[in-house]
Structure 1
Amino acid sequence: MKGNTKSVADLCLKLQDHALHVITVTDDTVLHMATYAKEASLVEQLLDELPDHHLDKLTRQNGVGNTILHETATSNHTVAIARKLLKKAPGLLGMRNHNGETALFRAARYGKTDMFDFLATRVSGYDESGLQFYVQRSDKTTILHMAILSLHFDLAYQIASKYEHLIGQRDGD
């Protein structure tokens, strides 16, 4: 994709599913691949050109259950894209991948503080029990556990300060 962004965008306009066309054996779409390639401007362009009747397909998951928001959550440079995605498909915020992780969880896993802060504001209206869905995987591992395991100690401190109820929680192990 590097250097071929115009060609990619032009091709997507010709496809029935546009940028949501599946192009890998693991069910990645053009948008997934543009996100992996860190082509933020291409991702924004593809989202802008996506017809409204395809917006329901933004929740499409790849072979490991990741949505485009899950992939976007692994970078601090894509907060604007995450904002645009959530405006077009708010349901993405509550989707889990096959590991039971939300996009907020992935931001914690990869230590992406800016992205984490943005996504955390999007779930800030929930009470403690409502938050659990976003901050804990199905195996009981929390965003605090993951930030520590991934050696993102500044983010772990931030999480412990903001979500004190996670401090004493045990994971599934």
Structure 2
Amino acid sequence: MVKELLRMLPKEGKPPLWNIKNKEGNTILHELACSDSMKNLAEKVLKNCKDNDQMLLLTARNKFGETPIFCAARHGQTEMFWFLAKEMKLKEVKVEDVMSPPEKMKLEELLELSKSQHHLQRDDKTTVLHISITTECFELACCIARTYSYLIKEKDRESMTALQYLACNPTAFGKNMKMRQGVMEELMISLDPFKELGNNLKKIFNSKYNTFNFFLIIICSSFTQLRTLSFSFIR
């Protein structure tokens, strides 16, 4: 049906696809991004756009301030997420480079990083990493943390990081514990001031008592946040 509608659009004078939205402010790409099975159609839609219109469609926001790639993350559509990320040419930063001093980066790289980060955040500052943890898509969250490590330290409008989202998750410990463990390690080890703590936590996670370990990780992460806060008051 989508292919037929695209074929029926007039060649001249047709409104750009990024400017055609429903009552939620979603473009056709927002709707397609909600399902991995629509990836081939999303590819055809993008090919149907001119170069400039293609990027405008990829970065268009709905009334909630979400880009299509954010919708893919919110619905846990891993295949669609990485397809859109590739099309958008988002800036990738490895975990080990996340704490690199800004002066080591060229101005062009900083601008590229800022632009990529903007597209991976909703208007309320929630990132794709926050939302993938909220919806318990831990495999996607782990990959996002590795690929776009600059999102790890980002805070939403409630000043919550992705690590805090994970620590506050009320889901039963048995469910998705293995994947949750991987995300927690990724987030903790990449935070330079607490790198040693992160490595110790990785060893703890490999031990026998997962439920106890998860309580411990919550306590430790809360302690580090409180310690940081107390230091800021002292200064």
TM tier, shorter chain?
0.7 to 0.9
One-letter amino acid of the structure 2 residue matched with residue 45 of structure 1:
K
Instruction: State the TM-score, normalized to the length of structure 1.
Output: 0.72
Shift of 1:16: 2.7
SS of residue in 2 equivalent to 1:108:
helix
Q: Residues 7-36 of structure 1: CA distance to partner in whole angstroms, max 9, x if unpaired? A: 243256754313x23331121101111223
**Superposition map of 1:1-173 within 5 A:** 4-11=1-8, 14=11, 15-18=14-17, 20-36=18-34, 38=36, 39-57=38-56, 58-73=58-73, 74-87=76-89, 91-95=115-119, 96-124=121-149, 126=150, 131-133=152-154, 136-147=155-166, 148-149=168-169, 151=171, 153-164=177-188, 165=191, 167-168=221-222, 169=225
- Pick closer, same or farther for the CA change 1:149–1:114 going to 2, 3 Å: closer
* Identity of matched residues, %: 16
Shift of 1:78: 1.8
Conservation of the 8 A alpha-carbon contact between 1:110 and 1:150 = no
Instruction: State the TM-score, normalized to the length of structure 2.
Output: 0.56
- Pick closer, same or farther for the CA change 1:45–1:138 going to 2, 3 Å: same
Q: Residues 33-85 of structure 1: CA distance to partner in whole angstroms, max 9, x if unpaired? A: 12235522211221233211214413221011110110121312324423323
- Pick closer, same or farther for the CA change 1:51–1:139 going to 2, 3 Å: same
SS of residue in 1 equivalent to 2:33:
helix
> Whole-Å Cα distance in 2 between the matches of residues 160 and 153 of structure 1?
10
SS of residue in 1 equivalent to 2:145:
helix
> Whole-Å Cα distance in 2 between the matches of residues 114 and 49 of structure 1?
32
One-letter amino acid of the structure 2 residue matched with residue 106 of structure 1:
I
Shift of 1:107: 2.1
> Whole-Å Cα distance in 1 between the matches of residues 30 and 64 of structure 2?
12
One-letter amino acid of the structure 2 residue matched with residue 144 of structure 1:
L
One-letter amino acid of the structure 2 residue matched with residue 163 of structure 1:
L
Aligned residues: 160
> Whole-Å Cα distance in 1 between the matches of residues 24 and 79 of structure 2?
25
Conservation of the 8 A alpha-carbon contact between 2:34 and 2:71 = yes
SS of residue in 1 equivalent to 2:25:
coil
Root-mean-square deviation (CA), in Å? 3.1
> Whole-Å Cα distance in 1 between the matches of residues 43 and 23 of structure 2?
24
Deviates more, 1:107-116 or 1:58-67: 107-116
Q: Over alpha carbons, which structure has the higher Rg?
A: 2
> Whole-Å Cα distance in 2 between the matches of residues 154 and 99 of structure 1?
30
- Pick closer, same or farther for the CA change 1:80–1:98 going to 2, 3 Å: closer
Deviates more, 1:154-163 or 1:63-72: 154-163
- Pick closer, same or farther for the CA change 1:119–1:160 going to 2, 3 Å: closer
Segments of 5+ residues of structure 1 without an aligned counterpart are none
